[in-house]
Structure 1
Amino acid sequence: MIRRIPVPTGKQPPLGGRALFEFEDKSLALFNVDGQLYAIDDSCPHQGASLCGGLLSGRVIQCCAHGLRFDLSSGYLLNSNLVKVRNYPVEIIDDQAFIVLYEEAAP
């Protein structure tokens, strides 16, 4: 099942910006890189530090706790396919941003 979660207008980051977005039990970090929106879990998979406040360089976010760097488009740790932060597609429909969540249907 697909759910589209609308991003409140005040939480849509400007070009080059970022925003923290709380939804149900999730804390998501939104980034606007060259006009493209990226959404990831705000918790680093290493020890749970916030990623939203990390150093952003292009599409790469660096965790401020231990320096791990993740590609926003794939969620993977740079130079690895073993460690990943969960990432979510972002769709723009009629100037409204939506975070797309894919949920498994209950059996």
Structure 2
Amino acid sequence: MTTRAPTSFASTAVLALALGSALAMAAAPAAAADEKEKCFGVAMKAKNDCAAGAGTTCAGTAKMDYQANAWKYVPAGTCETLKSPTSPTGMGQKMAFTAKM
């Protein structure tokens, strides 16, 4: 007759905690990749997410490309690297601005 050593509850718990921790750490970068920020002056006509000015119903109301008071959600950290010909810097802005002429 063969006898097997009983499985230790503590060993099982440690293994479960280690597996849970590994899964949580693997999911953390994915959550960070989903972070978005508002970027003014980068939305195309009627493609803004919101803030296109008084008297609008918000999303999809930008009347022109790169409208200074219309924003679009973009991946966090990318706003000021996106083209915006109406912006004083030529790049997206984190706040509404007065369009250059």
| TM-score bucket of the superposed structures, by smaller chain | under 0.3
Q: Which has the higher strand share?
A: 1
Q: TM-score, normalised by structure 1?
A: 0.22
Q: Which has the higher helix share?
A: 2
Rg larger in 1 or in 2?
A: 2
